[in-house]
Amino acid sequence: MGVSETPDGVGYRLDAGVATIELRRPALDVALRGGLLAAVRRVRDDGDAVRAVLLAAQGKHFCVGQDLKEHARALECGPESAFACVRDEYNPLIEALHALTQPVVVAVEGACVGAGLGLALCADVRVAAEGARFATAFTGIGLAADSGLSGALARAVGPSRAAALMLLGDRFGAADAERWGMVHRVVPDGAATAEGLALAQRLAAGPTAAYAEVKALLRDAPGASLAAVLEREAAAQLRLGATRDHRAAVAAFLARAEPSFEGR
């Protein structure tokens, strides 16, 4: 399937089980936010045809966050009007991304700041170009955080480092992000999307039912008791043990063959 051309600045392509969502411009204006939410909902609606998701950008930057020119115009009508988009647009987008059962890969080139960083942290696997640069950015304009950043950043790099990054607003590069465990892999500039696609294709060929269970376990583990974690793992293993994927993979292992996964 070719890339869907849309006026909102978001491209969508479904090919060989990988749904690619592509940002066509870096600033999150109202049209781009709506287009992203529509694309994520399209992943949901495409159902089993989507086995993995790639979130990437067409330009030299991944996402610079909120369009501040648009925001400044909205502020003229007052803060209630200007910040209605947080509950009405940003929150549904972040919730929709987190609700995806398919593994999500993000490819970051250039700037990834503010709400753009919040978007990137919705992914399960993150690839960054060597020249990628990150920042929380919110306190620099007298704000706190949105897009789930306060929770996602703390989970990614730990509460102490997250506090420093959010309070001080310092920029950091791909090497730091990789060292802190926020980024899975760093690649040469210009290669992030290709590497992200390769990882998404690898995931699409894998045991997608197991991936969905892994995502749910990781999502629910923070704050849960050991007993609750163990029970959830046991229930997940029982569900997966009844799948054709598991039985076929065990048989393939015993036959010293490569397993083939159907996601059921």
Residues 47-92 pLDDT 10s: 999 999 999 999 899 999 998 988 989 888 888 888 999 999 999 9
For the record, the structure tokens of 254 come out as 């015993």
Helix (H, G, I), strand (E, B) or coil at 125: strand
For residue 198, pLDDT over 70 is answered with yes
- Residue 262: per-residue pLDDT: 86
Provide φ and ψ at 129, rounded to 5°. Answer: -75, 155
- Residue found by looking up tokens 């790099």 in the block: 157
d(CA 184, CA 33): 26
Judge whether 23 and 62 are in contact, CB under 8 Å.
Answer: yes
The arithmetic mean of pLDDT across residues 179-191, rounded, is 97
Residue 8 has pLDDT above 80, yes or no: no
**What band does 214 get if pLDDT is binned at 50, 70 and 90?**
very high
Q: What is the pLDDT of residues 237-262, one digit of tens each?
A: 999 999 999 999 999 999 999 999 98
d(CA 18, CA 49): 8
Cβ atoms < 10 Å from Cβ of 177: 24
Structure tokens at 16: 């060989």
Single pTM value for the model = 0.92
Q: Which two tokens stand for residue 240?
A: 């997966």
Give the pLDDT band of residue 3 (cuts 50, 70, 90): low
Q: How far apart are CA 90 and CA 83, in angstroms?
A: 10
